[in-house]
Amino acid sequence: METALDTAVRAVRPRKNGILAGLISVGLVTGTGVVVAADGSIHPELWPKVARALPVDRAMERRIDRLLASMTLEEKVGQVVQGDITAMTPDDVRKYRIGSVLAGGNSDPGAKYNAPPADWLALADAYYEASMDTSGGGKAIPIVFGIDAVHGQSNIVGATVFPHNIGLGAARDPALIREIGRVTAIETRATGMEWTFAPTVAVPQDDRWGRSYEGYSEQPQLVASYSAAMVEGLQGMPGKPGFLDGQHVISSVKHYVGDGGTDGGKDQGDNLSSEEVLRDVHAAGYPPAIAVGAQAVMTSFSSWQGIKLAAHEGLITEVLKKRMNFDGFVVTDWNAHGQVPGCSNDGCPAVIAAGIDMVMAPDTWKAVYESTLAAARSGELPMARLDDAVRRVLRVKFRLHLFDAGKPSQRPLGGKFDLLGAPDHRAIARQAVRESLVLLKNANHLLPLDPKRNVLVAGDGANDMGKQSGGWTLNWQGVGSTRADFPNGQTIWEGLDSAVRSAGGHAELAIDGRYTRKPDAAIVVFGEDPYAEFQGDIPTLWYKPGDDRDLELIKRLKAEGIPVVAVFLSGRPLWMNREINAADAFVAAWLPGSEGGGVADVLLAGSNGKPAHDFKGKLSFSWPRRADQYANNVGQADYSPQFAFGHGLTYGDDGNLAKLSEEPGVSAAMGRPGVYYARGVLTPGVTMRLQGATGAAADAPSLPAASADGSVKVRGVDHLAQEDARRIEWSGAGTATVSLQSDAAKDLVRETNGDVMLVLTLRVDSPAQGDVAIGVGCGPGCGATLPLADTLAGLAPAKWTTLGIPLKCFQAAGADMSKVDTVLTLKAKGPRQLSLSKVSLGAQGDAEKVMACALK
Ligand code: BGC
Ligand code: BGC
């Protein structure tokens, strides 16, 4: 038998093709035989073996052989490339014989985030027909269309939106997960796609991670108990009728592997854990999913011990494909190939060499196609590997019966839009909401509330579908939607109102808590605003640092003698001890999705005075005791959370709680990521600097301030509160600059690639005169400025508005976004006056006006 040491030695032998040789280094084996691989080498024989989910289908493989043998090199390369609907047209598919298309989080037909389902289906038809059209030559190979149906077919108006995975984890109900998968598949098929980028089987260890809510649990066993159920729901069961038929979609188990264990909870970061922890914790969801026939796996943006997963031959080829017998295809994440050392977004044959079968190249598909073709021609990419990649893609297409499925609209569910948000689908989502609620406090048995009484519903989460649904809802960040975009759901308020009303009570909605009739009890619904991926990364577990309005609302109602139930919406457990102390009852509701009625089902008593549904939810993530308790997970030696994994009260329990410590462990100021100036305050670490037309630049620590020559002045003005904004006045005496300097250079590469913008809340105070430019800096001699005069001239004068400048614009103008130290410069000749009340990073939807610029 080969020893671990042999394997370690084998792993360092340079590969024949040479592409990866430089990435592989030596693994370590200790005297005890424990593998501590302190680098990228792995020991496949120590990983779980998985039995083949599906027997080898000889007839199908022969069909693939014949098809492969008839394909040109160009056609083969086309099959391993995936483009996005915003950047690849059906004509491109026809011409390049592309194998797959995706709709990214912000990609919609006609660029409308709320495009009607019929537009989606028409788009799916168009891609399919292009792929089958051989009028210009080539073979008819059906395209496979992927979308992030990660909590229901949540990109599409009217779909049932399920709770995000963190809430499902609290439900401890694999059978429910299977049902959710089944419904998601049906609704996805109705709109024309046959592939979802789900489930996420990350095992988040650091709750600062912006994707924590996409994980079911911090505990690997719980994740493992769900992953197969979800895959079965989505795909059907291998060997049983219905498997991968027109009612099902293929799943992509993601993000392989270790995405939930990056250092500091940094999205797309580096997972430094040992090989054993990688296997036993982070990979726990994969063997069960593969065992039930998961057809795709998506690699992670992140690295393991410094090596990007997209290029990790050991983990992809040796472990996943060989050891675990995974015979579907492996797809990369959004332009992740561009993050591999030595590669760019324009191509990375090394990832295919490492075992990737399809490259997600949303806007870069053409360059990736060309560079892959060139590498295959030169032999840099071995033909056997390319053939294997194509074989895997074709195998999945055959299994999905795509070759004879007809166009999406003609398939069994295509166009059946009444399935979106169908009553029985919504009932499952509502059950999921009920089961996900976790009760952390219930002093003096305040809950359940009597629906025959007078109930106030307050808080900015009470009547907001977008907020209760979170990221990956209608668009990537889940922001900017309206109530009308959810024709089928109920907000939490609507659910409460209808239940209270039918019980004969009275409910009042007052977001700010200013009721008209004094209530017997108040339900305050509040929480995190939607986010996705790295935009949700936070530096501490402090809830809304510098903004205590929710706490104040709870306290004010309490001071008026009203018992308060706090319903907290969030994508992760946060340090909430002050709010928990202030409220009489506290419910963690996670991100429940479209069926807000599930909250009323549990919080209100039935007609007999007893609750129809008790609390079932148990924490699947440990709840922190301090804002700096980032990564305290069940099973650790120093485990000391505020509420342990598995905790969750029921109505039978004593819900009184002694006052919790309000010692946060960190300062609130540490917690404002991507905000440079807001509410009159510069974020610690950010200073304002004035550079007059003449004289030296100088910091302006207090207001009012002026450059030595008086050519630029800044003073406090009011926007929403007293002096919460700054007016900048350029005298006209020459070109002068106001800038915001950051103590530490910021790496904004992820944000730049992800369409993040610099967002200014501003007001044009004087008619435009003279040149003005906006920019960022990145150290001596580094930076970019863009003309701003026309954009400002287009804004309504004397009115507050939000203006977004895509970070990509600064990059295209020459800034190095990996080391931004001047987060904003405004350079003008004047005379001109401009007020600013907020400077921050933001997403589409955060700005009323977006500056256009030429991108390379
Ligand atoms: C995310 C994936 C997602 C993909 C396609 C990426 O940015 O990391 O989870 O499936 O985009 O939208
Ligand atoms: C896309 C997402 C993707 C993200 C990656 C967004 O523009 O819409 O699908 O996950 O970029 O950074």
The predicted structure's pLDDT at residue 671: 67
Which residue among 148, 251, 257 has the greatest number of ligand 1 atoms within 8 angstroms of its CB, and so is best to mutate? 148
For residue 767, pLDDT beyond 80: no
Which residue among 476, 535, 750 has the greatest number of ligand 2 atoms within 8 angstroms of its CB, and so is best to mutate? 476
CB of 528 within 6 A of ligand 1: the answer is no
CB of 304 within 6 A of ligand 1: the answer is no
- The predicted-structure confidence for 156-185, as pLDDT tens digits, reads as follows 999 999 999 999 999 999 999 999 999 999
Give the C-alpha separation, 786 to 812, whole Å. Answer: 10
Q: Using a 6 Å CB cutoff, which residues line ligand 2? A: 104-107, 334, 476, 753-755
* Active site positions, annotated: 333, 533
Query: Radius of gyration of the chain from Cα atoms?
Result: 28
- The predicted-structure confidence for 307-356, as pLDDT tens digits, reads as follows 999 999 999 999 999 999 999 999 999 999 999 999 999 999 999 999 99
Q: Which ligand is nearest to the CA of 535?
A: 2
- Ligand 1 center from residue 751 Cα (angstroms): 14
If you take atom 4 of ligand 2, which residue's CA is the nearest one?
Answer: 754
Cis amide bond preceding 831, omega within 30:
yes
- Is 303 in contact with 269 (CB distance < 8 Å)? yes
N-term to C-term CA, the chain? 55
- Ligand 1 center from residue 580 Cα (angstroms): 35
- The predicted-structure confidence for 372-393, as pLDDT tens digits, reads as follows 999 999 999 999 999 999 999 9
For residue 21, pLDDT beyond 50: no
Backbone phi, psi, residue 525, to 5°: -105, 120
- pLDDT class of 16 with cuts at 50, 70, 90: very low
- The predicted-structure confidence for 696-730, as pLDDT tens digits, reads as follows 999 988 888 899 999 999 998 888 877 789 999 99
For residue 114, pLDDT beyond 60: yes
CB of 333 within 6 A of ligand 1: the answer is yes
Give the C-alpha separation, 239 to 794, whole Å. Answer: 62
Which residue among 82, 85, 86, 106 has the greatest number of ligand 2 atoms within 8 angstroms of its CB, and so is best to mutate? 106
Closest CA to 252 of 208, 211, 214, 200: 200
Write the DSSP assignment of 730-753 as a string of letters.
E-SSS-EEEEEEEEEEE--HHHHH
Closest CA to 337 of 320, 312, 305, 318: 312
- The predicted-structure confidence for 538-586, as pLDDT tens digits, reads as follows 989 999 987 899 999 999 999 999 999 999 999 999 999 999 999 999 9
The predicted structure's pLDDT at residue 611: 87
CB of 755 within 6 A of ligand 1: the answer is no
**Average pLDDT score over the chain:** 93
Place of tokens 């796609």: 193
For residue 39, pLDDT beyond 90: no
- The predicted-structure confidence for 772-789, as pLDDT tens digits, reads as follows 999 999 999 999 999 999
Nearest atom of ligand 2 to the alpha carbon of 333: 10
Supply 683's token pair: 């974020």
The predicted structure's pLDDT at residue 435: 98
- Ligand 1 center from residue 105 Cα (angstroms): 7
- pLDDT class of 25 with cuts at 50, 70, 90: very low
- pLDDT class of 2 with cuts at 50, 70, 90: very low
CB of 334 within 6 A of ligand 1: the answer is yes
Per-residue pLDDT, averaged over 8-36, amounts to 33
Which residue among 154, 299, 334, 844 has the greatest number of ligand 2 atoms within 8 angstroms of its CB, and so is best to mutate? 334
- Ligand 2 center from residue 573 Cα (angstroms): 25
Q: Which ligand is nearest to the CA of 101?
A: 1
- Ligand 1 center from residue 23 Cα (angstroms): 25
CB of 472 within 6 A of ligand 1: the answer is no
Query: Which residues does 594 contact at the CB level (< 8 Å), separation at least 6?
Result: 152, 159, 160, 161, 421, 426, 429, 465, 469, 486, 488, 489, 490
- Ligand 2 center from residue 334 Cα (angstroms): 7
Helix (H, G, I), strand (E, B) or coil at 38: coil
Give the C-alpha separation, 120 to 760, whole Å. Answer: 34
Give the C-alpha separation, 204 to 621, whole Å. Answer: 9
More confident residue, 751 or 482: 482
The predicted structure's pLDDT at residue 667: 78
CB of 256 within 6 A of ligand 1: the answer is no
If you take atom 5 of ligand 2, which residue's CA is the nearest one?
Answer: 754
CB of 214 within 6 A of ligand 1: the answer is no
- Ligand 1 center from residue 400 Cα (angstroms): 22
CB of 471 within 6 A of ligand 1: the answer is no
If you take atom 6 of ligand 1, which residue's CA is the nearest one?
Answer: 334
Q: What percent of the chain is modeled with pLDDT above 70?
A: 95
If you take atom 2 of ligand 1, which residue's CA is the nearest one?
Answer: 333
- Ligand 1 center from residue 107 Cα (angstroms): 12
528: DSSP letter: P
Is the whole-model pTM more than 0.85? Answer: no
- Ligand 2 center from residue 836 Cα (angstroms): 29
- Ligand 2 center from residue 364 Cα (angstroms): 13
Can you point out the beta strands (E) in 603-711? Answer: 675-678, 681-682, 686-691, 698-699, 705-706
CB of 575 within 6 A of ligand 1: the answer is no
Q: Which ligand is nearest to the CA of 86?
A: 2
Nearest atom of ligand 1 to the alpha carbon of 103: 12
For residue 510, pLDDT beyond 50: yes
CB of 148 within 6 A of ligand 1: the answer is yes
Closest CA to 204 of 306, 284, 150: 284
Q: Which ligand is nearest to the CA of 259?
A: 1
Burial label, 651 (beta-carbon count in 10 A; 0-12, 13-18, 19+): middle
Query: Which residues does 178 contact at the CB level (< 8 Å), separation at least 6?
Result: 229, 230, 232, 233
Nearest atom of ligand 1 to the alpha carbon of 214: 9
Q: Which ligand is nearest to the CA of 475?
A: 2
Burial label, 95 (beta-carbon count in 10 A; 0-12, 13-18, 19+): middle
- pLDDT class of 15 with cuts at 50, 70, 90: very low
- Ligand 1 center from residue 58 Cα (angstroms): 34
Which residue among 106, 153, 333 has the greatest number of ligand 1 atoms within 8 angstroms of its CB, and so is best to mutate? 333
Closest CA to 189 of 124, 236, 126: 124
Q: Which ligand is nearest to the CA of 301?
A: 1
Q: Which ligand is nearest to the CA of 754?
A: 2
For residue 12, pLDDT beyond 70: no
If you take atom 5 of ligand 1, which residue's CA is the nearest one?
Answer: 104
CA dihedral 838, 844, 849, 855 (to 10 degrees): 110
The predicted structure's pLDDT at residue 40: 66
CB of 269 within 6 A of ligand 1: the answer is no
Per-residue pLDDT, averaged over 450-474, amounts to 98
CB of 259 within 6 A of ligand 1: the answer is no
Backbone phi, psi, residue 457, to 5°: -115, 120
The predicted structure's pLDDT at residue 509: 98
Nearest atom of ligand 1 to the alpha carbon of 255: 9
- Is 433 in contact with 163 (CB distance < 8 Å)? yes
CB of 460 within 6 A of ligand 1: the answer is no
Query: Which residues does 542 contact at the CB level (< 8 Å), separation at least 6?
Result: 574, 575, 627, 664, 666, 668, 670, 671
Helix (H, G, I), strand (E, B) or coil at 435: helix
Give the C-alpha separation, 758 to 559, whole Å. Answer: 40
The predicted structure's pLDDT at residue 41: 87
683: DSSP letter: P
- Ligand 1 center from residue 797 Cα (angstroms): 39
Rounded (to 5) percent helix, strand, coil in the chain: 30, 20, 50
